[in-house]
């Protein structure tokens, strides 16, 4: 008998561990506290999870510290094999992970499947990198020493992830930490913790030893992680989330002189030059804007379009946005899901209303959608004044504000007029121009005639207030390694 959709959802939720993972065992929170995780498309509770308190956070770090020494001594191939088995398992269970992400986060199933592929790829990439943490051996210039460098795991890490990519944000940190030989405490976002729970069980099943990964969902992020960041046994903090929270955590981490990786907010400009292929630019714009309903740090936040193609681009973009279908992510027809919560939807609406009051014109959308769930209409705004709030803040919603420019210098000046420096997109048929503009843009990531550029093999990260450190690529492994230098006396000294 074929299971109904509701039965499939229930069966999946029944398989999600609901406890805290500490020392290889799922257990209740101290005092038995729990919190509800809801479906943003319906507001319905999906599952109640254990709600970690400060004692549980400490127990998780105790477990990570206890496991660190033996884990660091495991053969790189052993760590690599665990990651590879986890990659195979997540890939084999792609439909299950995708459905779970759609249930807790709201994105359409097709996008969740895309995230499973992207997120799983970090497991495969770092299973391959685990055996390539090379040091070097060389002679010092004057010949009196031999320089030996050894790569060692930094030690126990605290990993804090946001709600918008429930699988990929976890695998992007957990996989390199495992590859490097670090133990860790993972604190997922309280809005979307279920995927991390299921992923942690996959890693246990793949043979990850007890205590290497500890997972502590909580509604008291600051109370639980604050003492860990101050604990001298912790060696690294890797955080992905908003710039204001990142800034605060950096200040706390300074007391303990922690290694930090900070993947923070963005305000990506999307530049379309007069020589661009407008159809390709519109397709790129839809991907850069609408992936994750606009709830991505790399989301195109401001569209800067050359005057000569502004009308053609705006009309075509508005047409594509109008054709999208809002709905629950589990429905096959849905191309745009709900925003994560009422607060996010209301913030998007506030930004749009303020822009319209200042003279911006909605070509399409411009208001929340009717009905249950936190839906917002796909929106295109033209004539947005250059100093408007919507161009300065992360919108984190399906809204595309368009501003016109006249030449390269103006385009670069507008693009760089933000405290953020994560991603930018440039559409032009002139490769020389694309590279020239790229050299002038203050960003860590550049899409050249491409609207989606996240890839496990590439270094992801920002400059300015978008953070520091890189995830993915060979750089992603170095974030979890420290370099020890061994100076060796000249082996030829006795022969002189
Ligand atoms: P957020 O509010 O900063 O939260 C991120 C994580 O930090 C969550 O796990 C949150 O826990 C936790 N947190 C909040 N306050 C904390 C505190 N005082 N101490 C310790 N942890 C704390 O960000 P978000 O709303 O989840 O995510 C959206 C933001 O993330 C956007 O700004 C987006 O641009 C950014 N982001 C950046 C990247 C990147 O790679 N650069 C990728 C994705 C997202 P709770 O869930 O319990 O509040």
**Separation of 245 CA from ligand 1 center, angstroms?**
7
Residue recorded with tokens 């100093």: 387
Nearest atom within ligand 1 for CA of residue 220: 47
CA separation for the pair 467, 247 (Å, rounded): 9
Q: In 3-state terms, what secondary structure has residue 484?
A: strand
Tell me which residues of the chain have a pLDDT lower than 50. none
Q: Is 408 a catalytic residue?
A: no
Residue nearest atom 39 in ligand 1 by C-alpha distance: 263
Sequence-distant (≥ 6) Cβ neighbours of residue 221 within 8 angstroms: 160, 187, 190
So what's the pLDDT on residue 4?
80
Residue nearest atom 45 in ligand 1 by C-alpha distance: 189
Residue nearest atom 22 in ligand 1 by C-alpha distance: 221
Q: In 3-state terms, what secondary structure has residue 2?
A: coil
**Separation of 162 CA from ligand 1 center, angstroms?**
4
Residue nearest atom 11 in ligand 1 by C-alpha distance: 189
**Separation of 246 CA from ligand 1 center, angstroms?**
8
CA separation for the pair 174, 119 (Å, rounded): 11
Sequence-distant (≥ 6) Cβ neighbours of residue 256 within 8 angstroms: 229, 230, 231, 232, 234
The three-state DSSP-derived secondary structure of 247-282 is HHHHHHHHHCCCEEEEECCCCEEEEECCCCCHHHHH
Do 310 and 303 form a contact (C-beta atoms < 8 A)?
no
Q: Beta-strand (E) ranges in 289-351?
A: 300-306
Nearest atom within ligand 1 for CA of residue 161: 9
Helices then strands, counting H and E runs in the chain, come out as 15, 22
So what's the pLDDT on residue 371?
81
Residue recorded with tokens 């254990």: 50
Look up the CATH number of domain 268-448: 3.40.309.10
**How much of the chain exceeds pLDDT 70, in percent?**
99
Any idea where the domains of the chain sit in the sequence? Answer: 5-264+466-483, 268-448
User: What are 379's two structure tokens?
Assistant: 């929106």
Nearest atom within ligand 1 for CA of residue 191: 46
DSSP 344: H
CA separation for the pair 361, 165 (Å, rounded): 31
So what's the pLDDT on residue 496?
63
Q: In 3-state terms, what secondary structure has residue 92?
A: helix
Nearest atom within ligand 1 for CA of residue 248: 18
Q: Which candidate in 9, 111, 263, 394 is catalytic? A: 263
CA separation for the pair 192, 163 (Å, rounded): 5
Residue nearest atom 19 in ligand 1 by C-alpha distance: 222
**How much of the chain exceeds pLDDT 90, in percent?**
97
**Following DSSP, what letter does each residue of 381-441 receive, concatenated?**
EES--TT-GGGTS---SSEEEEEEE-SHHHHHHHHH-SSEESEEEEE-S-HHHHHHHHHHS
- Pocket probe for ligand 1: among 35, 50, 242, 261, the residue whose CB has the most ligand atoms within 8 Å is 242
User: What are 438's two structure tokens?
Assistant: 């790229």
Instruction: Label residues 461-492 b or e (16+ Cβ within 10 Å = b).
Output: bbebbbbbbbbbbeebbbbbbeeeeeeeeeee
**Separation of 169 CA from ligand 1 center, angstroms?**
11
**Separation of 263 CA from ligand 1 center, angstroms?**
9
Nearest atom within ligand 1 for CA of residue 422: 41
Superfamily assignment of 5-264+466-483 in CATH? Aldehyde Dehydrogenase; Chain A, domain 1 (3.40.605.10)
Sequence-distant (≥ 6) Cβ neighbours of residue 413 within 8 angstroms: none
Sequence-distant (≥ 6) Cβ neighbours of residue 306 within 8 angstroms: 272, 273, 274, 276, 404, 405, 406, 411
CA separation for the pair 213, 188 (Å, rounded): 13
So what's the pLDDT on residue 448?
98
So what's the pLDDT on residue 6?
87
**Separation of 312 CA from ligand 1 center, angstroms?**
37
So what's the pLDDT on residue 3?
76
Sequence-distant (≥ 6) Cβ neighbours of residue 312 within 8 angstroms: 278
CA separation for the pair 65, 155 (Å, rounded): 8
Nearest atom within ligand 1 for CA of residue 340: 25
pLDDT in tens, 230-247: 999 999 999 999 999 999
Do 381 and 401 form a contact (C-beta atoms < 8 A)?
yes
Residues lining ligand 1, CB < 6 A?
160-164, 169, 187, 189-191, 221-222, 225, 240-242, 245, 248-249, 263-266, 297, 394, 422, 462, 467
CA separation for the pair 413, 446 (Å, rounded): 16
- Helices 94-105 & 194-205 angle (0-180, nearest 10): 160
Residue nearest atom 6 in ligand 1 by C-alpha distance: 162
């Amino acid at each position: 008998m074929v299971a109904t959709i509701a039965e499939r959802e229930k069966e999946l939720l029944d398989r999600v561990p609901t406890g805290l993972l500490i020392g290889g065992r799922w257990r209740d929170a101290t005092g038995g506290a729990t919190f509800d995780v809801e479906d943003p498309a319906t507001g319905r509770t999906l599952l109640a999870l254990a709600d970690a308190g400060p004692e549980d956070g400490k127990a998780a770090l105790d477990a990570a510290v206890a496991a660190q020494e033996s884990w660091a001594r495991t053969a790189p191939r052993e760590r690599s094999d665990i990651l590879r088995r986890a990659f195979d398992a997540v890939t084999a269970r792609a439909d299950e992970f995708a459905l779970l992400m759609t249930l807790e986060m709201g994105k359409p199933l097709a996008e969740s499947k895309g995230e499973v592929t992207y997120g799983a790829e970090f497991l495969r990439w770092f299973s391959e990198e685990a055996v390539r943490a090379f040091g070097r051996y060389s002679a010092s210039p004057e010949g009196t020493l031999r320089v030996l460098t050894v790569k060692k795991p930094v030690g126990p890490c605290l990993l804090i992830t946001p709600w918008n990519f429930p699988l990929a944000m976890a695998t992007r940190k957990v996989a390199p930490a495992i590859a490097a030989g670090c133990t860790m405490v993972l604190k997922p976002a309280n809005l979307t913790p279920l995927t991390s729970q299921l992923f942690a069980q996959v890693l246990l099943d793949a043979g990850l030893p007890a205590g290497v990964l500890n997972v502590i969902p909580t509604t008291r992020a600051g109370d639980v992680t604050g003492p860990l960041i101050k604990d001298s046994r912790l060696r690294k903090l890797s955080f992905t989330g908003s710039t204001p929270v990142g800034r605060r955590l950096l200040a706390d981490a300074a007391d303990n002189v922690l290694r930090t990786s900070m993947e923070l907010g963005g305000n990506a400009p999307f530049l379309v030059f007069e020589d661009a292929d407008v159809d390709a630019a519109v397709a790129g714009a839809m991907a850069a804007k609408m992936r994750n309903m606009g709830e991505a740090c790399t989301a195109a936040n401001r569209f800067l379009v050359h005057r000569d193609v502004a009308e053609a681009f705006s009309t075509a973009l508005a047409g594509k946005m109008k054709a999208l279908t809002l709905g629950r992510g589990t429905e096959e027809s849905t191309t745009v899901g709900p925003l994560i919560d009422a607060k996010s939807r209301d913030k998007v609406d506030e930004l749009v209303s303020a822009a319209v009051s200042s003279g911006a014109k909605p070509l399409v959308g411009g208001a929340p959608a009717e009905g249950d769930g936190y839906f917002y209409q796909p929106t295109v705004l033209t004539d947005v004044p250059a100093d408007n709030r919507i161009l300065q803040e992360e919108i984190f919603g399906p809204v595309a504000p368009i501003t016109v420019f006249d030449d390269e210098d103006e385009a670069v000046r507008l693009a760089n007029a933000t405290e953020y420096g994560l991603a930018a997109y440039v559409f032009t048929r002139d490769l020389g121009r694309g590279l020239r503009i790229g050299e002038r843009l203050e960003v860590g990531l550049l899409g050249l005639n491409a609207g989606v550029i996240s890839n496990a093999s590439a270094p992801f990260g920002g400059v300015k207030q978008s953070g520091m450190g890189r995830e993915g690529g060979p750089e992603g492994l170095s974030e979890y390694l420290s370099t020890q230098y061994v100076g060796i006396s000249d082996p030829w000294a006795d022969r002189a």
